[in-house]
Amino acid sequence: MKTLRVFVSRTSQTPIDEYTTIGFPSLFLPKDVGEVHISTIFSWDIEKALRLKRNYELYYPKVLVGGPAFAGGNYDPQFTPGMYVKKGITITTRGCNFKCPFCLVDKKEGKFQEINIEPGNIIQDNNILLASKEHLRKVFDMLKTQKGIRFVGGLDKRLLTDWHIEELRSLHIKELWLAFDSWDNKKEFVRVIEKLKMAGFNRNKIRCYVLAGFNEPIQAGEERLRFVYNCGALPFVQKYRDENDNQISKEDKSFIRRWSRPAIMKSIN
């Protein structure tokens, strides 16, 4: 029997196959299903996920709700390719040992742990550089069989070393993602960007999440966004969302849209 995976809404990472569906039950549901798993990414979608559960229980005897939105994750820590994220995405570690005030990873996934390594060209680990060299060597060996590699989970600039950069140079990298969340680590950020540029990575490959809206107005992040661009990376605004996902103004939406599209960013800098 198959597992039907239900998602509250579609994202760029949602699987696409005949046993994946979005939202409430449709008229055409597969019959060879043993379990329904409702995967909930964001905490503000939990209420809707529970409504979905009640609806799917009308059609299937076993319906489970879980995912990153719930404390503790409520999911198997091991990673199964294509199950809850589309094929090509892989996760080789869980959790984080840092307790950043704006981040919920340590609360949702717990302490950092290395897990199984499955093939994929999109690395979604929350803080892969906390892994041991032994684990990372296995990840890099796997990635040598891949093309268009994207480290979208982010590379922690506090942990990025010359050894990591040399390993990255040996891969077919499409995107390396960093983060610049405050001015506190400005010098460290500049140092890492310079090292990546010296290693041959250009602005299109060095990308950077810039947190906005945490203990400040969203548009107050613009100075950091411009700073990241001028350093030689391509910045993308990352709106801070608490567990309630508070509504934002039209002006803030326009600001976020402007700093989320590479073509627009290049035209205004």
**CATH code of the domain covering residue 106:** 3.20.20
Q: Specify the pLDDT at position 41.
A: 87
Token pair of 260 as six digits: 């989320």
Q: Would you state the torsion angle of the CA atoms of residues 163, 172, 121, 113, taken in this order, to the nearest 10 degrees?
A: 0
| Residue 244 banded pLDDT, cuts 50, 70, 90 | low
Residue 205 domain-assigned (yes or no): yes
**Residue 112 three-state SS:** coil
Compute φ and ψ for 124, nearest 5 degrees. Answer: -105, 5
User: Are both 62 and 191 inside the same structural domain?
Assistant: no
Residues 6+ apart with CB under 8 A from 140: 167, 170, 171
Q: Specify the pLDDT at position 187.
A: 94
* Least confident piece of the model among 16-30, 70-84, 162-176: 70-84
H or E stretch including 237?
strand 234-239
For Cα atoms 212, 15, 137, give the angle at the middle one, nearest 5 degrees. 75
**Residue 53 three-state SS:** helix
**What mean pLDDT do residues 81-105 have?**
93
| Residue 82 banded pLDDT, cuts 50, 70, 90 | very high
Phi-psi bin for 248: left (phi > 0), alpha (psi -120 to 50), beta? beta
User: Are both 106 and 197 inside the same structural domain?
Assistant: yes
Q: Would you say 193 and 186 are in contact if contact means Cβ atoms under 8 Å apart?
A: no
The tally of domains found in the chain comes to 2
User: Are both 177 and 219 inside the same structural domain?
Assistant: yes
**Residue 219 three-state SS:** helix
Compute φ and ψ for 65, nearest 5 degrees. Answer: -120, 130
> Cα–Cα distance between 72 and 70 in angstroms, integer?
6
Q: Which letter does DSSP use for residue 217 in this model?
A: -
Residues 6+ apart with CB under 8 A from 7: 14, 20, 21, 22, 23, 38, 39, 41
User: Are both 99 and 219 inside the same structural domain?
Assistant: yes
Residue 206: pLDDT over 90: yes
Burial of 67 (0-12, 13-18, 19+ CB in 10 A): buried
Task: Show the domain range for 221.
Answer: 89-268
User: Are both 62 and 95 inside the same structural domain?
Assistant: no
| Residue 242 banded pLDDT, cuts 50, 70, 90 | confident
User: Are both 30 and 111 inside the same structural domain?
Assistant: no
User: Are both 57 and 94 inside the same structural domain?
Assistant: no
User: Are both 125 and 21 inside the same structural domain?
Assistant: no
| Residue 108 banded pLDDT, cuts 50, 70, 90 | confident
Residue 73: pLDDT over 70: no
Q: Specify the pLDDT at position 126.
A: 94
> Cα–Cα distance between 50 and 156 in angstroms, integer?
35
| Residue 213 banded pLDDT, cuts 50, 70, 90 | confident
User: Are both 60 and 161 inside the same structural domain?
Assistant: no
